[in-house]
Structure 1
Amino acid sequence: MTETYDPRRTAVLLVDPYNDFLSEGGKVWPHLELIAKEVGLLDHLRSVVTCARESGVRVVFVPHRRWEPGDYETWDHPSPTQRKIQERHNFARGTWGGQFHPDFQPQAGDVVAQEHWGQSGFANTDLDLQLKQHGITHVVVVGLLANTCIESTGRFAMELGYHVTLVRDATAAFLPEEMHASHELNGPTYAHAIVTTDDLTTAFTGAQA
């Protein structure tokens, strides 16, 4: 790995770390559990976030819209994913499933961006503004799901001029084919680096030194 990360210019974008995604009993967890356990998702997310904070890399929470009664009901054309949320009430506001996983709670110095309605953490939120105001040029996109919010947020970041890093084992999807597409087919068209958690934490620690 040849990428270097200036802690003052780098942020980890932690996308959608909700109980519904990451916790036993979460509404979406059963659909991604197999791949999440195969790649060691939770341990790798913990490693990325912990190492980032220890190295002075800013952690930015990039949360999906928490479902509320009435969401999407009057919309002209909600997306297929939004229709599923409307039906299943994923990430419902005020519920356990709509809370961040207990291991991923905002701490002093972290940023919590506005909630995104679709798949990109940038569209219709303050994420770009927050990153620019904190001097960020490099973003590391981790969390869920690899082929939806991670890919959309990473692509949007590239279009806005950020250096984008994906982390193969700090994300998951419902199907192996989706993971393959995210990292072998689509990722190389927009990401500047596609690494493992070990690669990334080594680079963060080296930058700290």
Structure 2
Amino acid sequence: MSNALYPRERTAYLLVDPYNDFLSEGGKIYPFIKPIAEQVDLLDNLRALDQAVRALGIQVVIVPHRRWEQGDYENWDHPNPNQCKIMHGHQFARGEWGGEWHPDFAPRDGDIVAQEHWGSSGFANTDLDFRLKQKGITHVIIVGLLANTCIEATARYASELGYHVTLVRDATAAFRPEMMHAAHELNGPTFAHSIVTTDELIASLTRQ
């Protein structure tokens, strides 16, 4: 159980990359995360967290990956391995179903939708930090995909910027169990202030 306190007016819930390609049957990436997503009950946990944070008035922030467009990365000096995969696989393509929000996690009125990130961190080269600071946010709860890439990179960056960072073990997924293990047992404890389950987090939020 986490002993962290979450001041509601200074806490934001960051949902990273809630696209159909990641979270929906038929998505380009979903088959690769499906075994772990089902094992941890990812979709139901994200639904439970979404309901809980909205009921408590906690700021919801969508942190989206760059939607692929024709020509992306092709003339770059050194696109990274994930960008090369997107360049060839066209994941999260703008204007296509895979690049649309999963219907359960689409932005609502009052949500912040940050600028799309080109790499793994939701903070790098976007307005996310600026938007959070304008709301007086000091605590961030980071969920979504993938545990060992965008979630870890966004959370590390948040920690470097001085935010209190919470990771949620069963509100994310990865391609392999060892990636989940690395994200939560090896790497996460070096920068996250709290690493909890969905049930533990909801209990912490609602008892304050």
TM-score between the two structures when normalised by the length of structure 1: 0.98
**Inter-partner Cα distance in structure 2 for 1:99 and 1:202:** 31
Match of 2:29?
A: 28
Backbone CA RMSD of aligned residues: 0.5
Q: Which amino acid aligns with 2:54?
A: R
Rounded to whole Å, the distance in 2 between the matches of 1:134 and 1:100 is: 24
Partner of 1:159: 160
Q: Which residue of 2 aligns with 1:117?
A: 118
Shift of 1:205: 1.4
Question: Matches of residues 52-201 of structure 1 in structure 2 within 5 Å?
Answer: 52-201=53-202
Please list the CA deviations of residues 37-90 of structure 1 after superposition, one character each: whole Å capped at 9, or x if unmatched: 000000001111110010111110000000000000110000000000000100
How many Å separate the matches in 2 of 1:197 and 1:158?
21
Runs of at least 5 residues in structure 1 that lack an aligned partner in the other structure? none
Matched, 1:14 2:15: yes
The 2-side partners of 1:189 and 1:200 are apart by 20
Structure 2 distance, partners of 1:110, 1:48, is 15
Report percent identity of matched pairs: 68
Structure 2: unaligned runs, 5 residues or longer: none
Give distance in 1, aligned partners of 2:196 and 2:187.
14
The offset of 1:203, in angstroms, is: 1.5
1:47 & 1:14 partners in 2: Cα distance? Answer: 13
Query: How many Å separate the matches in 1 of 2:207 and 2:116?
Result: 33
Q: How many residues are paired up?
A: 207
Equivalents in 2 of 1:49, 1:4: separation in Å? 18
Runs of 4+ in structure 1 deviating by more than 4 angstroms, as ranges, are none
